Structure 1
């Protein structure tokens, strides 16, 4: 895997430090990867290696307020707040299109990145050839929870799990949980999201009707993920909303006992293989 860094400028002046992971030969397609809240794109290097080994060129930004882009000010979202998160997806999309105008492009979003992806697709579903939502949920409920006054507190998500670190909800793999806890760029308490109420648009049938009908969408979740609802019910609801909107290639896969970070779970090889099979089917046909 060939690793380099590019910089993407946001509309409100933030320099997003973005990993570019490339295969040894000419890429067959491109993947844009959006990480979640309280983490950074460097945690996806192992997944990037799997993607580049399969012939994909990968772009993985440290989002605003995250990783190298935060410059130490973790959880500070900038002037544009949540709408800026969503527009950042578009800015990187356009950069990838400039570098690889002939390649099919898939968008993979995890957790908060999956919510940015859901909102992004309302306006830009024609800008990607496939979308994957990892560790996702029903967006209106998430918008309400994270729009509450005061700092964002996710500690309640660990209820029902063992309390060794407080982050057991992320994965059954204790080694991966410990890596997260030891990483100073993970687990920070962010400032409140400005403009997050716009995420609720992604639950509106009239808005979802604007998503193009031939866009393949894959939703992957653990059925023990606390944001997925009991048994993954909230993920199933998201998938059904896309089907009700007329999108005809929607697949929902729930993994028994798996928690939030599927790419860091004990069955991550199975998850990675399923995701690669979907990308091969939709981007390389």
Structure 2
């Protein structure tokens, strides 16, 4: 089920599935909640409530308020999911102690010098998925040229990895030209408890790229481990 509000979209699972937790998605530059419909629907099927809020770059204070409202009284664990600059703000809200989330899922984190694409190459820089490419190129898709805009002042400093005391899952395209992987890898190395999934050939929109099924599966596995404890005990091991 999809429920629309002024600045949010919410996806909930089948009524027969007991709620297993709540995710709040903070979009990246130029995006809106509807961009995450495919991700929200997929995660909701497994019993997690997913709410996407408005682009934080447009109004960070408003976005933070929407996050708090979405988590108020919602079933735990509470997880902030951010993409691009939304990942920075999600990390900052936890590092600041403003949002008492239980974990973070960060995709395409811009942790270093940006690589802004040319205006006619922005869609290709975001994704190799034809379905997502058509979605963001549509008239109601992303705001053109948004990825060429700078990261808001102070956001990277606020997102201090050493001050994040909750488990973090990073999802990052190995071929991300907007937020290079090496800078992100160095950032995650400073988080007390973090796991980074580097997607082979992946581009900037790690949650909506051609490997969106793998990204969603990685998120669900992380969530299931989180439900067992903040130390993320393993559920299954690959043996040979």
| TM-score category, normalised to shorter length | 0.7 to 0.9
Shift of residue 125, structure 1, vs aligned partner = 7.1
Match of 2:47 in 1: 55
Matches within 5 A, 1:105-254: 105-124=78-97, 127-138=100-111, 141=113, 154-156=116-118, 166-189=122-145, 196-202=152-158, 207-212=160-165, 215-229=166-180, 232-242=181-191, 247=192, 249-254=193-198
C-alpha change, 1:284 and 1:51, in structure 2 (3 Å) is farther
Shift of 1:283: 3.6
TM superposition shift of 1:224: 0.4
2:13 equivalent to 1:28: no
Give me the whole-angstrom Cα distance separating, in 2, the residues matched to 1:126 and 1:283. Answer: 19
CA distance in 1, matches of 2:172, 2:151: 26
For 1:168-223, what per-residue CA distance to the aligned partner results, in whole angstroms no more than 9, with x for missing partners?
11112234223311233413346x989932214246xxx544332xx110111011
Cα distance 1:133–1:194, how it changes in 2: closer, same or farther (>3 A)?
Answer: closer
Q: Give the structure with the larger helix fraction.
A: 1
Match of residue 148 from structure 1: none
Per the alignment, residue 263 of structure 1 pairs with 207
SS at match of 1:258: coil
Q: Deviations over 1:131-170 (max 9, x none)?
A: 011011216x45xx9xxxxxxxx434x8xxxx7x552111
Paired with 2:215 and 2:24, the residues of 1 have a C-alpha distance of 18
Unaligned runs of 5+ in 1: 8-16, 66-76, 78-83, 146-153
Gaps of 5+ in 2: 230-240
RMSD: 2.8
- CA offsets, 1:72-98, max 9 Å, x none? xxxxx3xxxxxx41x344323321343
Aligned equivalents of 1:61 and 1:44: distance in 2? 10
Alpha-carbon contact 2:108-2:206 (below 8 Å) kept:
yes
**Using the alignment, how far apart are the partners of 2:81 and 2:65 within structure 1?**
15
Number of aligned positions between the proteins: 226
Label 1:106 to 1:169 Cα distance change in 2 as closer, same or farther (>3 A).
same
Structure 1 residue 31, shift from structure 2 partner:
0.5
Are 2:8 and 2:52, in contact at CA under 8 Å, matched by a contact in 1? yes
Q: In structure 2, what is the Cα distance between the partners aligned to 1:127 and 1:3? A: 25
Q: CA deviation at 1:21?
A: 1.4
Write the deviation string for residues 45-102 of structure 1: whole angstroms up to 9, x where unpaired: 111111111101111112367xxxxxxxxxxx3xxxxxx41x34432332134332x5
Deviation at 1:226, TM superposition (A): 0.8
Alignment check: 8 A CA contact 2:2 2:11 kept: yes
Determine the structure 1 residue equivalent to 2:233: none
